[in-house]
Structure 1
Amino acid sequence: MRNIHIIACGGTIAGRADRATNLTGYTAGVMDIGDLLAAVPAIHDVAAVTGEQLFNIDSSDMTEEKWLALARRTEDAAARDDVDGIVVTHGTDTLEETAYFLNLTVHTCKPVILTGAMRPASALSADGPLNLLEAVQAAKTAEAGKYGVLIAMNGMLCSARFGYKTDTTHVHAFQGRQMGVVGFIQNGEPFFYQQPLRLHTYKSTFFLGDAETLPPVWILYAYVGMSPDLIRAAVSCGVKGLVLAGLGHGKNPSYCESALQQAARAGIIIVRTSRVLGGIVTEGGDGKAFICGDSLTPQQAKILLQLSLLRSDGAAETKRNFAQY
């Protein structure tokens, strides 16, 4: 049997409510890894499973410092000869961000699969047990390691590069944006259909070293009436980078342009992304002044920018990173 190691971080999959019909008013991160495994006895017929409890939190309380610890723990587990694949259980609020961070910072050819739940473990038709079982089924498939970190939810396998949460409460919450999903899990077997072309995991050149924190980067959301004071406040707080969740093709209101240019002259690297749910942001028009975020979501662009700043990449190197990752 393949050896799968589970790193538990809490979330709804480990949550409980006061009654089975309560699908929103619950406490996340109540059950531990032992409870999760006990709820899926069939998991031991699929693989030789071990587990550890790294955190037990609501993922809305995830921090960058916890990301660093999780990435190092995941890479350590992947380096073990007695581990063939890793599953990370995680709350869904920030699961897509954690998946992308691991996609850039964990260097392994072994499968790394993130999963969670949209309904607490106490709910009628709780989705967590099946998601966990399918994540282990994916993690025991060596081929899954070729695709970078994957998200296994509701029978689908999403690339960390393209996966994002699309629904607040329903079980079909994770999709692959316009790029589609990497594959599906059916009757316990993963089926793969496409492979991400951008760099990830074993091809990534980002290493955490002994970093204890990540460089401060803020995301600013563009909207009608957006105040330039938001940009000035970020500068005064000492940010090293800004990600603009811009209008349409990454644009900002013209009355904010002067403040953005001042921030750029102060040495702050600015990345343009879009608040739109699809498409890419490429150079053109007023986008020429700053780095364009391609198809990355604002929260993904923040992570890539932070890792670029961590190793002191300049604007030109950072621009290349956004074209490669």
Structure 2
Amino acid sequence: MMSIKLLLSVGASLALASPVPAPPSPVLIGRETGHFNASRPNITIFATGGTIAGSAGSSDQTTGYEAGALGVEVLIDAVPQLWNVSNPSGIQFANVGSSEITPEILLNLTQMVQRELDKPECQGVVVTHGTDTLEETAFFLDITLRTDKPVVVVGAMRPATAISADGPINLLEAVTVAAAPAAARRGVMVVLNDRIASAYYTTKTQANAPDTFKSYEQGFLGYLLDIKPVFYFQPALPVGRPYFNVTAAAAEALPQVDILYGYQGLDPKMAEAAVANGAKGLVCTGMGAGSWTRPGQKALAQLAKENGTAVVFSRRTMDGFVESGSVGYGGGFLNPQKARYTLMLALNAGYDDEKMHALFESQSPS
């Protein structure tokens, strides 16, 4: 095991709402001169916790473990092969289960990652993350970062203490992809289980199995063979992918947007309650291609008229396109959690009705 020196980095401190304890201040794992190689790309790893840093009481335990028990130094030490493909450095941004990640934390993360990417000596960034909400963070970064450099979000489905833990190889593959020149200009990517996927479309599809992150309709960008990335396509970005500027001057906090779930006989008052509780926007997880009950639509229309509440319709099905109806905006191919962050960022940016329609209907059939 290599010895890695811990250095305090300059970074904003984080605070999580009670009762969740505040994460540690960000720390930087320095590149030692004994391992540094000027011919290798410099890759910065932002660690946020999750299963990839999890620990359990026994090697056959893959549920009920403690997420975020290990620091980024331990993660890097466990994979010495990282130094064969990069000069890795690590920032302990947070160390929590991904269910504790908040929009405020994501604003801080994307600002720190952008500053790192803006440094000429940084060739790429990897973010380690819990898998439960990994797709939300990856999507958020995808539409708030402006860079051609590779950015990869990675996690694990088994804690570090488990037999055949997938974290070490996933981390090695993520850093390898971030270090690859062919990975540039592809937006934020998700790398797990030998697959390379677009953060814009990728979703967690299975609660327990390692082969879980997929985009059934759009497919994968590539795969890894012998820890070497193979891409299927030339660099390209998703059609209609927006960009939102969330520098410190542009965003201090994001408007509250809540997600409502559609079902037979749904209670229309749940929309009213969400707005009364402070929601400036609502994402409706509709049935089928975004359908909502008539009483529910009536309540939404009234909220939009009287409160100016922005409403976006998505779907509870795994995939599909949701078009605009008589109320609100159709979420297109975005699932509810991704439509939520899109709406939050659009409200923060002050989008009017015309811009909202253009944003959510960017992939409508012509």
- TM-score w.r.t. length of structure 1: 0.95
1:316 aligns with 2:357: no
Output the CA distance in 2 between the equivalents of 1:7 and 1:55: 9
Alpha-carbon distance in 2 for matches of 1:272, 1:312: 20
Q: Where do residues 278-317 of structure 1 align in structure 2 (5 Å cutoff)? A: 278-283=319-324, 287-317=325-355
Give the counterpart of 1:165 among 198, 201, 204. 204
Structure 2 residue 89 is matched with structure 1 residue 41: no
In structure 1, the partner of 2:294 is: 254
Contact 1:13 1:116 survives alignment (8 Å): yes
Specify the alignment match of 2:303 in structure 1. Answer: 263
Structure 2 stretches lacking a partner, 5+ long:
1-39
Matches within 5 A, 1:191-270: 191-194=230-233, 195-200=236-241, 204-210=243-249, 211-265=251-305, 266-270=307-311
**Does the aligned pair in 2 maintain the 1:269–1:315 contact within 8 Å?**
no
- Answer yes or no: is 1:3 the counterpart of 2:24: no
Q: Identity over aligned residues, as a percent? A: 39
Letter in 1 for 2:129: H
Provide the C-alpha distance between the structure 2 equivalents of 1:2 and 1:89, rounded to a whole number of angstroms.
Answer: 19
Partner of 1:77: 116
Deviation at 1:205, TM superposition (A): 4.4
Separation (CA, whole Å) in 2 of partners of 1:300 and 1:143? 27
Partner-residue secondary structure (3-state), 1:181: coil
Instruction: Tell me how far 1:249 sits from its aligned partner.
Output: 1.2
Give the gaps of 5 or more residues in structure 1.
Answer: none
Secondary structure in structure 2 of the residue aligned to 1:137: helix
Structure showing greater relative contact order (alpha-carbon pairs closer than 8 Å, 6 or more residues apart) = 1
Q: State the match for 1:187 in structure 2.
A: 226
Specify the SS of the correspondent of 1:6.
Answer: strand
Paired residue secondary structure (1:299): helix
User: Are 1:92 and 2:131 counterparts?
Assistant: yes
| Moved beyond 6 Å, runs of 4+ | none
Distance in 2 (CA, whole Å) between partners of 1:281 and 1:85 is 35
Is 1:3–1:83's contact at 8 Å kept on the other side of the alignment? yes
Matched, 1:148 2:179: no
Higher helix share: 1
Structure 2 partner of 1:276: 317
Cα distance in 2 between the residues matched to 1:288 and 1:133: 49
Shift in Å, 1:177: 2.8
- 1:52 deviation in Å? 1.1
The aligned residue for residue 109 of structure 1 is 148
CA contact (8 A) 2:300 2:327 kept: no
Shift, 1:255, TM fit: 2.2
Q: Which residue of 1 aligns with 2:12?
A: none
Shift of 1:301: 0.3
- Cα distance in 2 for partners of 1:30, 1:242 equals 35
Q: Secondary structure at the match of 1:134?
A: helix
Partners in 1 of 2:225 and 2:345 — Cα distance? 36
Mapped to 2, the partners of 1:226 and 1:21 lie a distance apart of 42
In structure 1, what is the Cα distance between the partners aligned to 2:244 and 2:212? 31
Q: What is the Cα deviation at residue 199 of structure 1?
A: 4.8
Per-residue CA distance 1:266-289 (angstroms, 9 max, x = gap): 211111111111111123xxx133
CA distance in 2, matches of 1:22, 1:249: 39
**Matched residues in 2 for 1:2 and 1:294: separation?**
38
The one-letter code matched in structure 2 to 1:301 is A
Deviation of 1:225 (Å)? 2.2
Does the CA contact (< 8 Å) of 1:47 and 1:140 recur in 2? yes
Offset at residue 99 of structure 1 (A): 0.3
Q: CA deviation at 1:90?
A: 0.4
Q: How far does residue 123 in structure 1 lie from its aligned partner after superposition?
A: 0.1
Which residue is equivalent to 1:21?
Answer: 60
- Distance in 1, matches of 2:278 and 2:272, equals 10
Q: Which runs of structure 2 are paired with 1:51-70 in the superposition (5 Å)?
A: 51-70=90-109
Letter of the 2:282 partner, please give it: L
CA distance in 2 between partners of 1:127 and 1:48 (Å): 22
SS at match of 2:190: strand
Q: AA paired with 2:331?
A: G
Instruction: Give distance in 1, aligned partners of 2:194 and 2:262.
Output: 35
Q: Which amino acid aligns with 2:327?
A: A
- For 1:244, the aligned partner's letter is C
In the TM superposition, residue 214 of structure 1 has moved relative to its aligned partner by 0.6
Distance (whole Å) between structure 1 residues aligned to residue 106 and residue 119 of structure 2? 20
Q: Give the letter aligned to residue 157 of structure 1.
A: I
- The answer to whether 1:31 aligns with 2:74 is no
